[in-house]
Chains A and B, each alone.
Chain A
């Protein structure tokens, strides 16, 4: 079993839809959880950064972490064509120099 599992999709939705992206993990020591957006041929861009369980909202994006289920989610409301990208979840045990472990990434297309 991989440390981080993420359905690679692809996922195609109409503009305005609510998008739900998920990752599961096996390492109970993970405490820091991140979502990145990556456009083609570009480096990943940090979208959300959360510590431990709970919800975090930033504009149209909401990140949820359920440590008891080892499950994290990213919700995108009112999705836009500009949201079309690959979304990667990532997590680490510590917030210092601990390495990140990434999911495979989900390719999302929002159709106008």
Chain B
């Protein structure tokens, strides 16, 4: 499968600020990447599908203006949580589809 690098692994931010999470496909040119959110003791919930060179496709109930996704190259997708609030605190994980779906190591976001 692909090798996926996700940064940062954890971040703490103040309420109202924005946070950017990066997902890099190190050995695979990924036209499609996926962003998931996982709350404690819950499964992964797909937030959006990131498409290289075009707009992301968001799942129902996910605010596209709050969770900005940019997939400007075949190796990098970013998720920006804008005007973060405590309820946005969660574990965010990206994945790349290639010979199965390979996941990044995740980013634990805590909004205080």
Contact = CB atoms under 8 A, between A and B. Distances in A.
B29 interface: no
Contacts of B95: 43, 100
B97 A44 contact: no
A97 B49 contact: yes
Interface of A: 6, 8, 34, 36, 41-46, 49, 88, 90, 96-97, 99-100, 102-105
Among B6, B93, B97, find the residue whose CB has the most chain A CB atoms closer than 10 A. Answer: B97
Contact of A41 (B31, B41, B91, B97): B91
A47 B91 CA distance: 21
Nearest to B94: A43
B18 to A, nearest CB: 23
Size category of the B interface is: 20 to 34
Contacts of B102: 46
B108 interface: yes
B93 A105 contact: no
Contacts, number: 52
A105 B104 contact: no
A43 B104 contact: yes
Nearest to B97: A97
Contact of B108 (A8, A41, A88, A102): A41
A100 B33 CA distance: 12
B1 A99 contact: no
Nearest to B48: A99
Interface string B23-44: 0000000011010000001111
B46 interface: yes
Interface in B96-110: 97, 99-106, 108
A43 B46 CA distance: 14
Contacts of A102: 43-45
B56 to A, nearest CB: 12
